[in-house]
Structure 1
Amino acid sequence: MTSFLFFRHARRWNLDAQWIHWLTFLWVSVGLWMLTSASCASAYDEFGDSLYYVRRQILWMSVGFCQYCLILGSSMDAILMIGRWGFVLTWVGVCYTLIGGIAINGSSRWVAIGPLLFQPSELVKPFLTLEAASLFSQWHPRSFWWIRVLILILLVIAILVQPNLSTATLCASLLWFMAWMSGRPRFQLLQIAAGGVLVGCLSIFFRSYQRERVLSFWNPWGYSNEEGYQLVQSLLAVGSGGFQGVGWGLSHQKLFYLPIESTDFIFSVVSEESGWIGSILIVILVMTYSWVGASIVMRLRDPRDRLIALGSLFLLLGQSAINIGVCLGLFPTTGLPFPFISYGGNSILSSSFLVALLVRVSRRKVRYVINL
């Protein structure tokens, strides 16, 4: 009943909000269809249930949809308050991973709450967007404003120490981009960017696994049995798809050749099964999303709303572009998921929150209440 009322109210929104709303549901539907094929072999091998990951994804999507409805039915003041408390909790969670987190694949990024695993560095993204938008839209050269900047910088450093270079780079880029778009002094921002590049280079230099990833990116075939194995198998999957693909569910690489095929390299499975036709359609979907999002940003007049929309779009589209680029060998291998397509509850919750923020600010002057 609640869902029916929600969709009925959606027809009253402005056109941009409706476009983002329906494009998101198309994105989610396509992602679930892709995940069903990409994860079936590994799910059956690990759990004896080929739909294990799909069922869990649907569960997290349901939670994300409830979150989406809650945000759209809340005032901006309430959302900002939720964002402030969410930022504090996830900031503490990121710091906790450094002392008591659960290490997976050599990185301590996870916190266990009962049977559930949460990744604070993933969940912090929408809250970081709200915090940065609030800060840069009402900037004053006072000492306590620099304390807030310092807290944001410490968050990025904590994510980097986990170590999680890809997410730390994404969050740092988000802050820099929002500061640039808010009109902060350009020369200072260029200095900060140079410092960030230096920190990234030092991290790669002192961490052997990051250094080997970069080397394998430049010459994956020379490291085909080591750090370059993932990229080589991804390129084989993409190349095997050809123009039309081998057919849905018929990927060969997902049969225990391509690692983490349902998360980081799910686009490679899509390319193999649907070929360049399917891959290009996915890219068109993302580009259409960016075009509608840019239309929303240009229409907004409030500086804070504009920064919220920019930050949300930056994270959703940036992660999508990086994930596609990694699968095609355009970027070094990272652990960034494809929003709404890669398997993972943390990614679903973070992405649905970002979309809700984008839709909410796009219909800022429209009164909206969900009648339960």
Structure 2
Amino acid sequence: MIGILFVHSAGSYWSEVHYKGQMPFAIKQATYLIIGIAVAFFIRNKSIIRIPTFWQFLYIISIVLLIGVLIPGIGVVRNGSQSWIPLGFMNFQPAELAKISVLGVLASALANEKKSKKAVYFQSAILLLLPISLIMLQPDFGSAFVLVVAVFFLLFAAGLSIKFFVAIGAVGIIGFVALIVSAPYRLVRIQAFLDPWKDPLGSGFQAIQSLLAIGPAGLFGFGYGNSRQKFLYLPEPQNDFIFSILLEETGFIGGLIIILAFLTFFTTSFMMAAKANTREAQLMIIAFTSLLTVQTFLNMGVVTGLLPVTGVTLPFISYGGSSLVMTWIIIGIIFNLANTSLNEGRR
């Protein structure tokens, strides 16, 4: 509900200027919320979630969609990335489904203790590299980064050796450098992060406008609906930078309440994982909670200037059908796994 309120506040003027005559963002977001909650309630009691072949099938579907979105005429380009497939009432982002399917199939595979460590390492690398490569071709560095870090949390929880993480970390650093070299705009983003005022009307524009929203807000902000940066200063404020508008209108206290709400949610979810009585349920809950945790604090880090600008939504709050519906699907999966473990424990 907080998300809908601030989507309305942040996106009202932007919608009026750029999407005149179309349905307001808040109404669309409310529709996506209803769909997401309905799907979550539908899957919370479905046993198919606990069948490994389901995750394998979902993984294949996500790979097909990731390939499809790169085909001209199927995928549409927004803000320099070909990441969406138009469905009429909403634009679907295959990367959102890929995050869920990759973590699900990996958690299911890691729960199989009969496999050797070498087989687990190889399978994990293959299952991750293929979708990551397709996501980077869009390009969508934010989604790729969130997925990779969530997989690291999953592998750590699965008990893989420290040597494995050191080796992967070394490869990751080399890959990160290669990505920057292969696309100069990423180096520009790093430079803009270090000194946004060097190019205030170009690469540093979003970071500066975000800080200009947050800085003057003080303890209590300017009040709901009284943001100044939403008047075409901060690009698409209802999306990735909605936390800037929230902080501008509610101040430090409002932002602290939101952070505490997220921390409560994450802590509760990790406690559900700790109480799960099957290894598969435990790993899946950890994986999906880690995904939302990483995405949340990456978004907050970007809008507050702690991290370089990258396109990642704030779960539950940012505008976007794919992001919101997939977030609620994750909630449904977590409840499904937690309730199953609880019921099995009672029996």
Question: Shift of residue 80 of structure 1?
Answer: 4.8
Once residues 279 and 289 of structure 1 are traced to their aligned partners in structure 2, the CA distance between those partners, rounded to angstroms, is 16
Question: Shift of residue 240 of structure 1?
Answer: 2.1
In structure 2, the CA distance between the partners of 1:349 and 1:77, relative to structure 1 (3 Å rule), is closer
In structure 2, the CA distance between the partners of 1:35 and 1:48, relative to structure 1 (3 Å rule), is same
CA contact (8 A) 2:278 2:341 kept: no
> Given the alignment, which residue of 87, 96, 103 partners 1:122?
96
1:218-266, Cα deviation, whole Å (9 max, x unpaired): 0011121111000000000001211111010010000000112001100
Give 1:141's aligned residue.
116
Matches within 5 A, 1:192-211: 192-211=168-187
Verify: 1:89 aligned to 2:61, yes or no. Answer: yes
Verify: 1:232 aligned to 2:204, yes or no. Answer: no
Give 1:347's aligned residue.
323
In structure 2, the CA distance between the partners of 1:197 and 1:363, relative to structure 1 (3 Å rule), is same
Verify: 1:183 aligned to 2:177, yes or no. Answer: no
Q: Secondary structure at the match of 1:255?
A: coil
Q: What TM-score, normalized to structure 2?
A: 0.92
Q: Secondary structure at the match of 1:108?
A: strand
Verify: 1:363 aligned to 2:335, yes or no. Answer: no
Mean Cα deviation higher: 149-158 or 72-81: 72-81
Give 1:41's aligned residue.
13
Q: What TM-score, normalized to structure 1?
A: 0.86
Q: Secondary structure at the match of 1:331?
A: coil
Count residues in correspondence.
Answer: 340
Question: Shift of residue 89 of structure 1?
Answer: 1.2
Matches within 5 A, 1:6-155: 29-48=1-20, 52-77=24-49, 80-100=52-72, 101-114=75-88, 116-139=90-113, 140-141=115-116, 146=122, 149-155=125-131
Once residues 48 and 188 of structure 1 are traced to their aligned partners in structure 2, the CA distance between those partners, rounded to angstroms, is 53
Give 1:241's aligned residue.
217
CA contact (8 A) 1:32 1:341 kept: yes
Once residues 118 and 264 of structure 2 are traced to their aligned partners in structure 1, the CA distance between those partners, rounded to angstroms, is 42
1:8-33, Cα deviation, whole Å (9 max, x unpaired): xxxxxxxxxxxxxxxxxxxxx11111
Once residues 280 and 199 of structure 2 are traced to their aligned partners in structure 1, the CA distance between those partners, rounded to angstroms, is 47
Q: Secondary structure at the match of 1:103?
A: strand
Mean Cα deviation higher: 329-338 or 185-194: 185-194
Once residues 131 and 153 of structure 1 are traced to their aligned partners in structure 2, the CA distance between those partners, rounded to angstroms, is 13
**In angstroms, what is the RMSD of aligned CA positions?**
2.1
Mean Cα deviation higher: 299-308 or 70-79: 70-79
Question: Shift of residue 77 of structure 1?
Answer: 5.0
Question: Shift of residue 105 of structure 1?
Answer: 1.7
In structure 2, the CA distance between the partners of 1:50 and 1:102, relative to structure 1 (3 Å rule), is closer
Match of 2:37, as an amino acid? F
Give 2:231's aligned residue.
255
1:147-188, Cα deviation, whole Å (9 max, x unpaired): 564132111121122211121121122222211211122202
CA contact (8 A) 1:41 1:254 kept: yes
CA contact (8 A) 2:225 2:249 kept: yes
> Given the alignment, which residue of 292, 295, 298 partners 1:322?
298
1:176-208, Cα deviation, whole Å (9 max, x unpaired): 221121112220222012101211121112211
CA contact (8 A) 1:238 1:272 kept: yes
1:264-313, Cα deviation, whole Å (9 max, x unpaired): 10000001101111011111111111221222122123111111111111
CA contact (8 A) 2:90 2:321 kept: no
Q: How many percent identity over aligned positions?
A: 27
In structure 2, the CA distance between the partners of 1:253 and 1:176, relative to structure 1 (3 Å rule), is same
> Given the alignment, which residue of 249, 259, 278 partners 2:254?
278
Once residues 55 and 79 of structure 1 are traced to their aligned partners in structure 2, the CA distance between those partners, rounded to angstroms, is 36
Once residues 23 and 84 of structure 2 are traced to their aligned partners in structure 1, the CA distance between those partners, rounded to angstroms, is 24
CA contact (8 A) 2:85 2:92 kept: yes
